[in-house]
């Protein structure tokens, strides 16, 4: 696959940060860990990975803005471009030695995601996409799964962590979806969940209370793989609202209907 100069910059930043994470993952029990909040841990590896990504991207495009999980937002001087970065999505997995974590980088241009990279150093899987150019896993072109009926589908989701709101609401959603599908999966890294939808491994995905860096790259991967990614009303204000539902045309529509099903009266 041919990559633009910008996508190559993003790939190199992700690979460099991933190499650093891979070394730390091999010595995970020796990491210095601090507590950022209930159920939400941040490690020295996380901060180091963001520094690597930020330096690589800003060196290549110094006028672009930068929004990352572990640092204050940098406003760009060109006013049109912004990097959206999660240097270590799946931190809790990482700290427990579970090989489901990723570096996620998206490029936003005038409010639209135009390029995306998701890299899992533990599996050496590199997902890339550019608007209008398709989505790829390493060098293989991706398409979302073709299943049309929920009862045939495996659906990914996010589970609210300790300290998050709406545990009860999620349990109602989960009960409704479980009654309609073949299986539910929860990886603990939404960027990888969304990449799995783009790759056809998951038929769909839903989650709320996400940050822009949790979703930005995955949104473009899914759309460039022929799928749909919207907010829960079918709109495009995903990054602003923090809620996403994704799948092919049929699964996406059916999943919205199920997760928005009213809570039964007692």
Per-domain residue ranges for the chain?
A: 5-141, 150-260
| Token digits of residue 155 | 């659906």
In the prediction, which pLDDT does 97 show? 84
Residues 209, 166 contacting (CB under 8 angstroms): yes
Express the helix, strand and coil content of the chain in percent, nearest 5 each.
35, 25, 35
89 marked ligand binding residue: yes
Tell me the CATH class for 5-141. Answer: alpha beta
List pLDDT tens digits, range 252-263. Answer: 999 999 999 887
pLDDT tens per residue across span 20-78 = 999 888 777 565 566 655 445 567 889 999 999 999 999 999 999 999 988 889 999 99
More confident call, 185 vs 28 = 185
Tell me, what's the pLDDT at 39? 45
88 labeled binding residue:
yes
What does the alpha-carbon distance between residue 185 and residue 201 come to, in Å, rounded to a whole number?
11
- β-strands 81-89, 102-109: how paired? antiparallel
Alpha carbon 53 to its chain's center: 16
- Does residue 185 or residue 69 have the better pLDDT? 185
Q: According to CATH, what is the number of the domain 150-260?
A: 3.40.190.80
């Amino acid at each position: 696959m041919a990559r633009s100069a910008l996508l190559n910059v993003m790939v190199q930043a992700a690979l460099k940060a991933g190499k650093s994470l891979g070394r730390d993952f091999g010595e995970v029990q020796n990491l210095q860990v601090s507590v950022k909040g209930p159920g939400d841990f941040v490690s020295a590896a996380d901060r180091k990975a963001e520094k690597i990504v930020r330096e690589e991207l800003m060196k290549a495009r110094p006028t672009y803005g930068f929004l990352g999980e572990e640092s204050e937002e940098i406003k760009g001087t060109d006013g049109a471009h912004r990097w959206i970065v999660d240097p270590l999505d799946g931190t809790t997995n990482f700290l427990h030695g579970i090989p489901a974590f990723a570096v996620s980088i998206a490029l936003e241009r005038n409010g639209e995601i135009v390029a995306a990279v998701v890299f899992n150093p533990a599996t050496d899987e590199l997902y890339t996409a550019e608007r209008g150019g398709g989505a790829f896993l390493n060098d293989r072109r991706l398409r979302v799964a073709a299943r049309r009926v929920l009862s045939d589908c495996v659906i990914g989701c996010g589970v609210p962590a300790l300290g998050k709101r709406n545990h009860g609401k999620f349990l109602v959603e989960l009960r409704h979806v479980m009654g309609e599908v073949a299986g539910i999966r929860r990886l603990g890294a939404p960027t990888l969940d969304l990449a799995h939808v783009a790759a056809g491994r998951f038929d769909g995905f839903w989650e709320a209370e996400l940050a822009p860096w949790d979703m930005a790259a995955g949104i473009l991967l899914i759309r460039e793989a022929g799928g749909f990614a919207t907010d829960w009303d079918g709109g495009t204000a995903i990054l602003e609202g923090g809620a996403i539902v994704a799948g092919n045309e049929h699964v996406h529509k059916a999943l919205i209907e199920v997760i928005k099903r009213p809570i039964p009266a007692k």
